[in-house]
Amino acid sequence: MKLLRSAFALAAATCLALSAAALPAVAADPKPPAPKKLFTISDPRIKESSGLAKSQKYEDLYWTVNDSSDSARVFGVDTDGDVKVVLKFKAEVRDVEAIAVDREGTIYIADIGDNTKSRDTIEIYTIPEPSSLENAENVRYHRYDFEYPDGPHDAETLLVQPETNEIFIVTKSSKGGAIYSTPGRPSREGTNKLTKVAAAPAGTFTDGTFLPDGQRAVLRTYVDVATVAWGDDKPTLVARGPVPLTQGESVAVGEADNTVLVGSEGSNSAVYQVQVPAKKATASPPPASSAPPKGSNNNDAGAGAADKNHNLRWIIIGAALFALVVTVLTFPPGRRERLDRMAENARLTGQSPTPNRRRHSA
């Protein structure tokens, strides 16, 4: 009997394991790693780092620009915080606020700041990443002029979609900014019209970057970062997360997957690597009274439940068969044959097939 009970216990455990395997897994929600300080920009020429962009041609190199009141120049900074190269181009810039780099190694310098909201046009300049990290005084550049469809705006955020090179500008406003796109192929002749795409998430945004997948962007405010889904529909806020810096001014793609670098303005500004905020997983099932998802119907839901019950029925049947096989294999052969002989003898003699037991003396 002990072996028989063990066999059925094993079968029951197998049944439970198979049933558990049939249930949907609940995603874990690990705590994101703490922000990691990577370097400090201590070069005295960089007093107001107002943008940060990862190089496409050089490993461990980031491009940055100063805020307003600087000339047209770009600094290449390594992950020790040292300036490796300075690129200058002869343009009359007014208020450079952001920088980006596309997959071909083109650097975009966004002269889009307008604190007084008085500019008729804003400008974006492009220069190529250099073939070697040597200072250059007269880099060849292209200039593109743009105007908003609804009057001047202040802005500090430039986004370049990595797959299409489409350019987006996010305006800066405590009352709520907006997202604008440039024409697919902006012209260097005349002024290009911007198109309003959508309202921006809540926040006063100071920088932004697309993530390498091209489906998400991270927007930076003074105190946090926001992940935005960027599909065919309008951009949608996914999650937000705090950062360790105040007066935050810059964000760039990080060195590790799903991380970004965040920086602040001022002398000796620190740069940290933080996790891209993601929507938390939930282990709670939807309420029974909740409406079915859009595009589904109750028949679909009933069919799904029937399929689950059908699968569970076969799991239980399989476990029972498994128990039978285990019982047959584990039951002692000698005892099984002895019981068979007793049953046959009882059939011939008409006696009960009770096995003989040893008598114990009192």
CATH number for the domain that contains residue 64: 2.130.10.10
> Is the per-residue pLDDT at 1 higher than 70?
no
Buried b (16+ CB within 10 A) or exposed e, 88-126: bbebebebbbbbbbbeeebbbbbbbbbeeeebeebbbbb
Burial bucket for residue 40 (CB in 10 Å: 0-12, 13-18, 19+): middle
Tens digits of per-residue pLDDT, 31-55?
A: 678 899 999 999 999 999 999 999 9
Claim to verify: residue 97 and residue 178 sit in the same structural domain: yes
Query: Could you tell me the pLDDT band of residue 69, with boundaries at 50, 70 and 90?
Result: confident
Give the residue with greater pLDDT, 286 vs 64: 64
**Structural domain harbouring 332:** 2-23+305-349
Claim to verify: residue 90 and residue 236 sit in the same structural domain: yes
Give the residue with greater pLDDT, 292 vs 307: 307
Are 346 and 355 in contact by the 8 Å Cβ rule? The answer is no
Neighbours of 238 (CB within 10 A): 18
Predicted pLDDT of residue 233: 72
Sign, CA dihedral 168-53-228-156, equals: negative
Q: Which residue bears the tokens 């951009």?
A: 235
**Span of 54-68, 143-157, 177-191, 331-345 with lowest mean pLDDT:** 331-345
Claim to verify: residue 325 and residue 250 sit in the same structural domain: no
Q: Find the mean pLDDT for residues 183-196.
A: 95
> Is the per-residue pLDDT at 131 higher than 50?
yes
Distance separating alpha carbons of residues 344 and 355, to the nearest angstrom: 13
**Span of 84-88, 185-189, 242-246, 314-318 with lowest mean pLDDT:** 314-318
Predicted pLDDT of residue 245: 78
Claim to verify: residue 107 and residue 47 sit in the same structural domain: yes
Q: Could you tell me if residue 137 is inside a domain? A: yes
> Is the per-residue pLDDT at 3 higher than 60?
no
Q: Considering the chain, what percentage of its residues have pLDDT values greater than 90?
A: 61
Q: Quote the Cα angle for 222-268-97, to 5°.
A: 45
Pick from 304, 291, 302, 251: nearest CA to 273: 251
> Is the per-residue pLDDT at 263 higher than 70?
yes
Neighbours of 352 (CB within 10 A): 8
**Span of 68-72, 170-174, 313-317 with lowest mean pLDDT:** 313-317
> Is the per-residue pLDDT at 323 higher than 60?
no
> Is the per-residue pLDDT at 184 higher than 90?
no
Q: Find the mean pLDDT for residues 103-120.
A: 97
Neighbours of 250 (CB within 10 A): 30
- Biggest CA–CA distance in the chain, Å, is 118
> Is the per-residue pLDDT at 258 higher than 60?
yes
Instruction: Collect all residues with Cβ–Cβ distance below 8 Å to 61 and sequence separation of at least 6.
Output: 54, 55, 76, 77, 78, 84, 133
Domains of the chain: total: 2
**Residues present in the chain in total:** 362
Q: Could you tell me if residue 266 is inside a domain? A: yes
Q: Could you tell me if residue 293 is inside a domain? A: no
Distance separating alpha carbons of residues 255 and 294, to the nearest angstrom: 39
Q: Could you tell me if residue 220 is inside a domain? A: yes
DSSP reduced 3-state for 132: coil
For residue 75, what are its two tokens? 């600094």
Q: Could you tell me if residue 285 is inside a domain? A: no
Query: Could you tell me the pLDDT band of residue 318, with boundaries at 50, 70 and 90?
Result: low
> Is the per-residue pLDDT at 305 higher than 60?
no
Pick from 162, 195, 202: nearest CA to 179: 195
Sign, CA dihedral 167-119-123-139, equals: negative
Per DSSP, 258 falls in state T
Pick from 206, 280, 213, 210: nearest CA to 241: 280
Q: Could you tell me if residue 13 is inside a domain? A: yes
Q: Which residue bears the tokens 């216990």?
A: 9
Buried b (16+ CB within 10 A) or exposed e, 266-279: eeebbbbbbbbbee
Claim to verify: residue 202 and residue 339 sit in the same structural domain: no
Compute CA 54 distance to the chain's CA centroid, rounded to the nearest angstrom: 18
* DSSP-assigned letters across all residues of 8-32: HHHHHHHHHHHHHHHSPPPPP-PPP
Q: Find the mean pLDDT for residues 66-91.
A: 95
For residue 355, what are its two tokens? 């096995």
Claim to verify: residue 98 and residue 162 sit in the same structural domain: yes
Tens digits of per-residue pLDDT, 223-238?
A: 999 999 997 778 999 9
Predicted pLDDT of residue 314: 52
Predicted pLDDT of residue 130: 97
Claim to verify: residue 58 and residue 127 sit in the same structural domain: yes
Q: Against a cut of 0.85, is the pTM above it? A: no
Q: Find the mean pLDDT for residues 239-246.
A: 88
Claim to verify: residue 226 and residue 344 sit in the same structural domain: no
Predicted pLDDT of residue 105: 97
Predicted pLDDT of residue 8: 40
Q: Kind of pairing, strands 178-181 and 195-199?
A: antiparallel
Predicted pLDDT of residue 33: 82
Q: Find the mean pLDDT for residues 201-211.
A: 95
